Amino acid sequence: MDADAVVVGAGLAGLVATCELADAGRSVVLLDQESEANLGGQAWWSFGGLFLVDSPEQRRMGISDSLELAWQDWQGTAGWDRLTNPDGSPGPDHWGQQWGRAYVEWAAGEKRSWLRERGISFFPVVGWAERGDGTSGGHGNSVPRFHIPWGTGTGVVAPFEQRVRDHIAAGRVIYRPRHRVDQLVRSSGVVTGVRGSVLAPDSSPRGVASNRDVEGEFEYGGQAVVVTSGGIGGNHDLVRANWPQRLGEAPTDMLTGVPAYVDGRMLAITEAAGGAVVNRDRMWHYVEGVRNWDPVWPGHAIRILAGPSAMWFDGRGDRLPAPYFPGFDTLGTLDHLQHTGVEHSWFILNRALAGKEFALSGSEQNLDLTQRRYRDVLKRPITAVQPSVQAFLDHGEDWLTADTIGELVAKMNELTPHAPLDPAHIERQIVERDRQVDNAYTKDAQVAAIRVARGYRGDKLTKRAFPLHRILDPKRGPLVAVRLRVLSRKTLGGLHTDLTGRVLDPLGEPVPGLYAAGEVSGFGGGGVHGYRALEGTFVGGCLFSGRAAGRAAAAATA
């Protein structure tokens, strides 16, 4: 045995599992196919948003939340429908649901203090992601729950990275970057280690696709192997192969929201060692993807986190029906758009709205929060256009501006000649909507939703829900159109695990010696989210499942 445990993947889930193991006195070999520059994986790039329930930050914003309400939202969002097999045995959703309940309890309980013990604190305004499908018991957050950590994703990774580095210095953790696992070793039914390829050194900066030149081979043995290798979002072949028919055809023109190393290879490798994958057809991709004007990884796209006011049109020029407003129902909107026959869609708004209501997901798109430049953060509500949004307005291939609708639609048609729009049709819909804003009441569901958002102190203070006005008001101009495409991101299904992170075989029995956590395990159980997510639950899912798997593996190797 080279160590008590071998951890495959040095993203956030792998770092957390390694910390738990090493803190408990276990020796660990931590492997990753990427270079040291990529330590922390996707979480480093993430906005770092974390789902918390009934937090002091929420209470200070006047939000009344509870475990019961959050669990109601989670269940309505998950829509678990595979709880039992036809023969009555536990189905693919059995453990996912258990993980879901445990996670919501953690988010309403220990999670915040556990994070604060590690030095993670939060921006005081809580974000309201996935505002839902318009029903009380269905999809969506009834209240704002998206807590943004100071430092964004980099701030969440930092304490775990530091702890692992301390353990490396103390000799308890052996870290081997550029070590790609190709096989799990199994003898007499027990997983006893890993085999793989040593990849050639690569000095590419973080996130840039690295070489796959093989320079040698390796094998490491351990009493426990913990797989924390991430999802499939960087592998469009796999995304397409698993794409569910219920969402229509997989997009032919898909952008990529994750680095290339999110390749999903370890799923088949773990299956070959006896682990079961469940709920492969569940994924969480965004419809508000724009091509990054300054790309890092292949096909690099950024997701627009839009406030509630932009008008959203499908590729034929029809306004999306309720409840498919920006930031309300990610998968419902994807489903709707995939059935229109045109893959892209459009936001149409004006510069004032784009400047105030658009945020961009990712640590590098929010440098004020990432670098803890508190003064700049305070200036957000009084800044006409956020610098990162201005950069996209200046350089982004999907971003168009014009003074009149006629001019704007002409530019849109130049960008997408295969789906030409009728300017009169677009203008009529905007004018109809603009006539709804003069009264305190309305029959336009989106205008009503903007008023509800303005009722939330956080949205009002930050101007994330900008005061209602006519989109065609020239004082708020110029007009802005943004072409949106599907951006591949998260994997909701994955390795089937029990509540301690033990990987289960197709019969539901643990594979001895094998654990999994993070996105590769559907963030726990092979599907903690079910069909949909409430957001801020992925980084948190890595923390929770990495902790559970690390603790269980530490106990098993004592």
Ligand X SMILES: Cc1cc2nc3c(=O)[nH]c(=O)nc-3n(C[C@H](O)[C@H](O)[C@H](O)COP(=O)(O)OP(=O)(O)OC[C@H]3O[C@@H](n4cnc5c(N)ncnc54)[C@H](O)[C@@H]3O)c2cc1C
**Both tokens assigned to 314:** 């499908």
Q: Measured between alpha carbons, how far is 434 from 209 in angstroms, rounded to an integer?
A: 46
- Residue span binding ligand X (CB under 6 A) among the ranges 111-119, 162-170, 222-230, 272-280: 222-230
Using CA atoms of 212, 209, 35, 37 in order, give the dihedral in degrees to the nearest 10. 170
Smallest separation, CB 122 to ligand X (Å): 13
Smallest separation, CB 148 to ligand X (Å): 8
Q: 451 to 490, contacts with ligand X by CB under 6 A?
A: 490
Q: Measured between alpha carbons, how far is 157 from 548 in angstroms, rounded to an integer?
A: 17
State the binding string over 340-379 for ligand X (x if CB under 6 A, else -).
---------------------xx-----------------
Residue 43 binds to ligand X (criterion: CB under 6 A): yes
Nearer to ligand X, 144 or 536 (CB): 536
The phi and psi torsions of 172 (rounded to 5 degrees) equal -85, -25
Q: In a 3-state reduction of DSSP, which class is residue 370? A: helix
Nearer to ligand X, 206 or 425 (CB): 206
Residue 222 binds to ligand X (criterion: CB under 6 A): no
Residue 539 binds to ligand X (criterion: CB under 6 A): yes
Q: 227 to 246, contacts with ligand X by CB under 6 A?
A: 228-230
Q: CB within 8 A of 288, min separation 6: which ones?
A: 303, 304, 305, 306, 326, 347, 484, 487
Q: Which of 101, 265, 316, 372 binds ligand X (CB under 6 A)?
A: 265
Using CA atoms of 319, 325, 330, 334 in order, give the dihedral in degrees to the nearest 10. 0
How close are the terminal C-alpha atoms of the chain, in Å?
14
Q: Measured between alpha carbons, how far is 79 from 87 in angstroms, rounded to an integer?
A: 21
Q: Which of 164, 266, 301, 359 binds ligand X (CB under 6 A)?
A: 266
Smallest separation, CB 367 to ligand X (Å): 14
What beta strand segments (E) does 65-210 contain? 146-147, 173-176, 179-187, 190-199
Total site size for ligand X, rule CB under 6 A = 42
Q: Which of 423, 518, 525, 527 binds ligand X (CB under 6 A)?
A: 518
Q: 398 to 427, contacts with ligand X by CB under 6 A?
A: none
Residue 536 binds to ligand X (criterion: CB under 6 A): yes
Stated as kind and residue range, the H or E segment containing 287 is strand 283-291
- Please, what is the Cα angle at 10 between 6 and 13, to 5 degrees? 90
Nearer to ligand X, 228 or 446 (CB): 228
Residue 48 binds to ligand X (criterion: CB under 6 A): yes
Nearer to ligand X, 143 or 481 (CB): 143
- Residue span binding ligand X (CB under 6 A) among the ranges 11-19, 92-100, 248-256, 402-410: 11-19
Q: CB within 8 A of 166, min separation 6: which ones?
A: none
Smallest separation, CB 438 to ligand X (Å): 37
Which of 33, 15, 35 lies closest to 168 in space, CA to CA? Answer: 15
Please, are residues 267 and 289 in contact by the beta-carbon 8 Å criterion? no
Residue 33 binds to ligand X (criterion: CB under 6 A): yes
Q: 55 to 94, contacts with ligand X by CB under 6 A?
A: none
- Residue span binding ligand X (CB under 6 A) among the ranges 225-233, 279-287, 310-318, 430-438: 225-233
The phi and psi torsions of 343 (rounded to 5 degrees) equal -80, -35
Q: Which of 6, 10, 255, 534 binds ligand X (CB under 6 A)?
A: 10
Which of 170, 225, 175 lies closest to 195 in space, CA to CA? Answer: 225
Which residues of this protein are in contact with ligand X, per CB under 6 A? 8-14, 31-34, 38, 41-43, 45-49, 180-181, 228-230, 257-258, 261-262, 265-266, 361-362, 490, 518-519, 536-540, 542
